[in-house]
Amino acid sequence: MDDMPLITVIVPVYNILEYLPRCVRAITAQSYRNLEILLVDDGSTDGTGDLCERLAEEDGRIRVFHKENGGTSAARNLGLAHASGEYVGFVDSDDYIEPDMYEKLLWGIRKFHVPAAQIARDERDENDKPLSDICEPPAEPHVVACADFMRELLLHRGDCSLCTKLIRRELFPREAFPAGKLNEDFHLIVRMLPDIGRLVSLPWQYYHVFYRVGSNSRKAGREEFSRVFADCVENADMAAEVVKRDYPELTEVSFRFGIFQRLEYMLHIPIAQMNRDNAMYRGIVSYLRKNWFRSMGNPVLTGKNKIYHTLFALAPRGIRKLHAMVRLRGA
């Protein structure tokens, strides 16, 4: 085993002039030095592409790729196609990491003899103030079987982000990230889990997610509704297929996840889009009605979930209007 295996760090970049230097310099300052840093400029129009080139002049480990705008998945896939490292990690261009994050991740992989490691994260506001934890960090390092990891994801307790992980490059499939998806990390990690088998989860919050107002990756606007929530429903159906094939003991948990994602869709869909021309909406209403009896007997769904399921199956538009009025009065 190589004592200092090469780690490839892929950073998709798009119109991020203000925050990119902090992100990149946090990577170049890593205590683990054998890094290959790939900046993939996804067709920036604000000078970010030129900034990438200047940052590359500061450190010979940085390589820059420029491409037409195609979204985060396409940028990450291009990075993977050019990756040379034995292990691969990702950092989003407005986030930043602690100086020994990759040293700790590699330590975990070697200590516990697993092909992948995950470190904890937190979320910071524009004043660098910590926000509520996205995912509860473990108390100490521990190995997680991927069936258990899948269960936590389906219960909305796990961390699907690829940015908090270090994974052997050979485990990534071709065209790993799905083009045009807004929940691409979930889509990929769920498909990879059966091949990963086990991973180690580390307690240190060394990855800092930067929440900035207006960031597309953090909060979708009304015009993005269809993509965001449709992707969540499609991801639930994809996860159900993986569960059916590899983790049949999680069938009821997976069913709960599919119902939950459809209820989220119904709770957020603009009322104007609740019409016969919306195939996704029609399909979800049909699914809720066909699966009502199964939902009522599901041991994982909460009583609140089952009430919402019943109401949306009976009168979807009326319940959505009522829900919108209640939220407006509470605002």
Q: Does residue 115 carry a pLDDT above 50?
A: yes
Residues 24 and 68 in one domain: yes
Which of the listed residues 210, 236, 269 is the one where a domain comes to its end? 210
pLDDT tens-digit profile of 130-177? 777 677 889 999 999 999 999 999 999 999 999 999 999 999 998 899
Q: How far apart are the first and last CA of the chain?
A: 58
- pLDDT confidence of residue 132: 76
Q: Are 89 and 7 in contact (CB under 8 A)?
A: yes
Q: Does residue 220 carry a pLDDT above 50?
A: no
- pLDDT confidence of residue 65: 98
Residues 164 and 22 in one domain: yes
Residues 186 and 38 in one domain: yes
Which of the listed residues 155, 176, 210 is the one where a domain comes to its end? 210
What does the block give as tokens for 171? 């485990």
Mean pLDDT of the chain: 93
Which of the listed residues 166, 186, 210 is the one where a domain comes to its end? 210
**CA gap 197, 203 in Å, rounded:** 20
**80 burial level (CB within 10 Å; 0-12, 13-18, 19+):** buried
Q: Is position 107 within any domain?
A: yes
Q: Is position 1 within any domain?
A: no
Q: Is position 200 within any domain?
A: yes
pLDDT bucket at 49, cuts 50 / 70 / 90? very high
Q: Does residue 328 carry a pLDDT above 90?
A: no
Q: Does residue 271 carry a pLDDT above 70?
A: yes
The mean pLDDT of 116-140, rounded to a whole number, is 84
Q: Side chain identity at 11, as an amino acid letter? A: V
Residues 79 and 191 in one domain: yes
Q: Is position 216 within any domain?
A: no
The mean pLDDT of 226-235, rounded to a whole number, is 88
Residues 85 and 198 in one domain: yes
Q: Which domain holds residue 318?
A: 222-330
pLDDT bucket at 218, cuts 50 / 70 / 90? very low
pLDDT bucket at 225, cuts 50 / 70 / 90? low
Q: Is position 120 within any domain?
A: yes
- pLDDT confidence of residue 125: 77
Q: Is position 38 within any domain?
A: yes
**CA gap 208, 95 in Å, rounded:** 6
Residues 169 and 230 in one domain: no
Distances (CA, A) of 23 to 88, 114, 254: 17, 28, 36
Residues 185 and 268 in one domain: no
> For a pLDDT cut of 70, what percent of the chain falls above it?
94
Q: Is position 61 within any domain?
A: yes
CB atoms within 10 A of CB 131: 11
Residue identified by tokens 């524009």 is 126
- pLDDT confidence of residue 1: 55
Overall number of domains in the chain: 2
What CATH number did the domain enclosing 157 receive? Answer: 3.90.550.10
Residues 28 and 128 in one domain: yes
Residues 90 and 187 in one domain: yes
pLDDT bucket at 219, cuts 50 / 70 / 90? very low
